[in-house]
Amino acid sequence: MKNLLPLLSILLLISCKKELNTDLLFEGEKYFKNIKQITFGGDNAEAYWSFDDKQLVFQSNHNKWGVECDQMFLMDNYESFESTTPKMLSTGKGRTTCSYFMPDNKHILYASTHESNESCPETPLRVDGNYVWPIYDTYDIYVADLDGNIVSKLTNQIGYDAEATVSPNGDKIVFTSDRSGDLELYTMNIDGSDVKQITYDLGYDGGAFFSPDGTKLIFRASRPKSKEEVEEYKDLLSKGLVKPTEMELFICDSDGSNLKQITYLGNANWSPFFHPSGKKIIFSSNFEAVLGFPFNLYIIDIDGKNLERITYSDTFDAFPVFSNDGKKIAFSSNRNNGGTRETNLFIAEWVE
């Protein structure tokens, strides 16, 4: 639910076929150095580093790897899968989303629908002309070892539980749930105990990440205001859907206090992640786009000042994630895909 990959499949239908670009950097991308492409086919996204920065876990629907919808895969640092298949860590059943390493570097957590149905659930893309995300009420959050064995189940509520990430301190998990009747943020201990709701405003709150010191959270949110917007939001939610085309970034303390909106850009501002300094946020946005794309990466201070553009794609860059040592960045992009619908993973050195 963190990604807009289905939207990109629609948008890229109108793009022209191009030759592969051997230069993976675009002019103006001064913060990237020694960029490397990791995947070469399918939709690949949300690559998250282990706490020791030696491995990453990511989701893919690449049919050459024997899957029909998103499953979780393991990647060693800078390993490339141009001609090999990565190790799958999820069950291969149902649909999965939003994996993240646990503090011991030996386990991951992720959300999956496999207990409800082993088949891939349907993925509606549009309702009344509006792009939508499905909110599967069969998602629960699981912990698995690096051999793919599920060792625990952290949520047991009826409804959507997903988008879980772990504090750098290794003590807390933040996730999104609709157990209150709305899509809100919750925290729990690393073992799933002591669940607490921390956001309360109407609208979709999701894709939350902790700051490097674990004291703050950054997340994306929709905030329907008018009567028509509220009615539309509630109607879609009752059908297990949300419209993610109008989202802004919010920051708060890790207990939900001191909540503040930091972007007022319009369109979709999403996949935020803290800069290693804890003083800036990197994120993806199409606020400069006219027809819904391109999406590019931007960085902004945590007080909403000093917005700066990072990438210069004409299609799609998103899911930026810094390594824990701050030296590298992983992200997803449509660059170098020959004008196809494929979204691949890239890793670059971060230079300031």
Percentage of the chain beyond pLDDT 70 is 94
**Mean pLDDT for the chain?**
93
At residue 324, what are phi and psi to the nearest 5 degrees? -65, -25
3-state helix, strand, coil in the chain (%, to 5): 5, 40, 55
Is residue 222 within 8 Å of 243, Cβ to Cβ? yes
The pLDDT tens digits for 61-106 are: 999 999 999 999 999 978 899 999 999 999 999 999 999 999 999 9
Q: Is the pLDDT of residue 347 over 70?
A: yes
User: What pLDDT, on a 0 to 100 scale, did the predictor assign at position 18?
Assistant: 38
Alpha carbon distance 252, 258 (integer Å): 5
For the residues 195-205, what does the mean pLDDT come to?
98
User: What pLDDT, on a 0 to 100 scale, did the predictor assign at position 2?
Assistant: 52
The pLDDT tens digits for 16-29 are: 333 344 489 999 99
DSSP secondary structure code for residue 26 in this structure:
P
Alpha carbon distance 202, 198 (integer Å): 13
User: What pLDDT, on a 0 to 100 scale, did the predictor assign at position 85?
Assistant: 96
Classify the phi-psi angles of 118: left when phi > 0, otherwise alpha if psi is within -120 to 50, otherwise beta: alpha
For the residues 236-263, what does the mean pLDDT come to?
97
pLDDT band at 9 (very low <50, low <70, confident <90, very high): very low
Q: Is the pLDDT of residue 14 over 80?
A: no
What's the pTM value of the predicted model, to 2 decimals?
Answer: 0.93
Q: Is the pLDDT of residue 47 over 50?
A: yes
Is residue 221 within 8 Å of 248, Cβ to Cβ? yes
For the residues 159-170, what does the mean pLDDT come to?
97
The pLDDT tens digits for 128-140 are: 888 999 999 999 9
Please report, for the domain that includes residue 28, its CATH number: 2.120.10.30
Residue type, 173: I
Quick one: which of 282, 277, 280, 281 has its CA closest to 326? 277
How many structural domains are present in the chain? Answer: 1
For the residues 253-271, what does the mean pLDDT come to?
98
Residue keyed to tokens 């979204």: 343
For the residues 119-144, what does the mean pLDDT come to?
92
User: What pLDDT, on a 0 to 100 scale, did the predictor assign at position 77?
Assistant: 76
The pLDDT tens digits for 282-299 are: 999 999 998 888 999 999
Q: Is the pLDDT of residue 268 over 90?
A: yes
Domain span including residue 49: 5-350
**120 token code pair:** 């891939």
Say how many C-beta atoms besides its own lie within 10 A of residue 256's C-beta: 19
User: What pLDDT, on a 0 to 100 scale, did the predictor assign at position 10?
Assistant: 42
Percentage of the chain beyond pLDDT 90 is 87
Alpha carbon distance 233, 135 (integer Å): 13
Q: Kind of pairing, strands 196-197 and 184-189?
A: antiparallel
**101 token code pair:** 């390493």
Alpha carbon distance 309, 197 (integer Å): 34
For the residues 289-316, what does the mean pLDDT come to?
95
User: What pLDDT, on a 0 to 100 scale, did the predictor assign at position 290?
Assistant: 85
Cis preceding-peptide flag for 294 (omega within 30 of 0): yes
Distance of CA 220 to the CA centre of its chain: 10
Alpha carbon distance 134, 125 (integer Å): 8
For the residues 141-148, what does the mean pLDDT come to?
98
Residue type, 269: N
38 vs 5, residue with greater confidence: 38
User: What pLDDT, on a 0 to 100 scale, did the predictor assign at position 346?
Assistant: 97
